[in-house]
Structure 1
């Protein structure tokens, strides 16, 4: 169990990462581990999760990085995960939400509402479940953060991305409401916990560049740069970042 000497920042912080098996998750785990955080990663894919955890341990020898298969579509399983983290570590100081998914169509009339059903579960339900499960624990932290990764398309939906943009917009609104809760429930010492949306156009990483060597990826955010932006939130005051959209790409 962690000691009770934590006062803020990432050194010694206990940070959970949801959807840690992808490229963004791998980069985030590495960056958080290098900063001295105790990282608890979750994903639905055992192989991808194990690869991300192993990469973070190699990146930061001696860092405490663990992985757990958690069904974030199950509210009770998500609540149990949050409770176990607090029980095992004494507190929880962050939840980084990286659960993703994309579906689109050639035109608006060709939109398949089955895509909405899938994206609703992946992009909205998981945000609802994690935010509700971690809300109280993050409020108990002296420097808690809830971080959602969103997409510029939520602010400028295109015809073929109706389901995706709508799901991202809903997830953003939910996260901003979480930030309002943190503000309203802050105690005598002022706001100590923040909910923040980081907005990108799309993500790019080395494997994508290798697969498409001639692509420009204009406006895309590198996975490592996204991880830096996530880590930097612990170096900014909660009043500065709570209930905000932080743009990592030009606004559409």
Structure 2
């Protein structure tokens, strides 16, 4: 799937839309802020790291003069704080048309027997609890939008876990299941007319960005998805009808055999 807007995206499906980005301080978040601003959206980023968030917000504003890009330091592990972020955003901008979930993290082990359950504790909070909180907080505004999108970035390993990635794969699989439950809610609320909003999963093998390439110039990063490509695919979900997006896994890498 690719975006149909092309060019700078002005006048497309995202022109004037309000999109919240959770985990906006990382490389994928920075790329999403840039691309969404380019597409004409009002972009509201959130991250627990104010410095990294400010860097992404400033870069998007500088690259796209006149774009509205804001940043909020939000603890997404606090449901009340996450709900307040959603409430404040909808009140200020009048609507919310998207929540892009880019909160990430990885921990693994050399073998299954060496798995540290502390890794599960950490990843459950980062990869599952933040999905739960953002989906519960933003479900209402996304449904009211008429073109809402809840987008989770997941990993191919969720469906084919390896021995040393038990905690990570299990957390990703749980996050996917939660997102698909939200998709079913959108489907049921839409009734015979079809869903007004969509929840979907963008599946990658892993993500790569320029700093990673600079650190490992000899690495091939085979099958990895560049964060800019991910951002392009994110924006493209608004070019498709909600019914075609809702409840689907959108593969940005080869499906495991």
- Structure 1 residue runs of 5 or longer lacking an equivalent are 1-7
Match of 2:143 in 1: 139
Match of 2:203 in 1: 199
Local SS of the residue matching 2:190? coil
Matches within 5 A, 1:210-221: 210-221=214-225
Match of 1:30 in 2: 34
Q: 1:192 Cα shift?
A: 1.7
CA contact (8 A) 1:9 1:143 kept: no
Q: 1:241 aligns with which of 239, 242, 245?
A: 245
Q: 1:190 Cα shift?
A: 3.1
- RMSD, aligned CA: 1.2
Q: 1:132 Cα shift?
A: 0.3
The answer to whether structure 1 residue 164 and structure 2 residue 204 are counterparts is no
Q: 1:142 Cα shift?
A: 1.5
Q: 1:30 Cα shift?
A: 0.2
Local SS of the residue matching 2:77? coil
The answer to whether structure 1 residue 71 and structure 2 residue 75 are counterparts is yes
User: What per-residue deviation string (whole Å, max 9, x for no partner) do you get for residues 19-44 of structure 1?
Assistant: 00000000000000000000000000
CA contact (8 A) 1:73 1:125 kept: yes
Q: 1:181 Cα shift?
A: 0.1
Local SS of the residue matching 1:32? helix
TM-score, normalised relative to structure 1: 0.96
User: What per-residue deviation string (whole Å, max 9, x for no partner) do you get for residues 111-153 of structure 1?
Assistant: 0000000000000000000000000110000200000000011
Q: 1:189 Cα shift?
A: 4.5
Give the total of aligned pairs.
246
Matches within 5 A, 1:61-210: 61-186=65-190, 189-210=193-214
- Structure 2 residue runs of 5 or longer lacking an equivalent are 1-11
Whole-angstrom CA distance in 1 between matches of 2:235 and 2:21: 12
Q: 1:222 aligns with which of 219, 226, 239?
A: 226
TM-score, normalised relative to structure 2: 0.94
Whole-angstrom CA distance in 2 between matches of 1:88 and 1:189: 30
Whole-angstrom CA distance in 1 between matches of 2:193 and 2:166: 42
The answer to whether structure 1 residue 15 and structure 2 residue 34 are counterparts is no
Local SS of the residue matching 2:220? coil
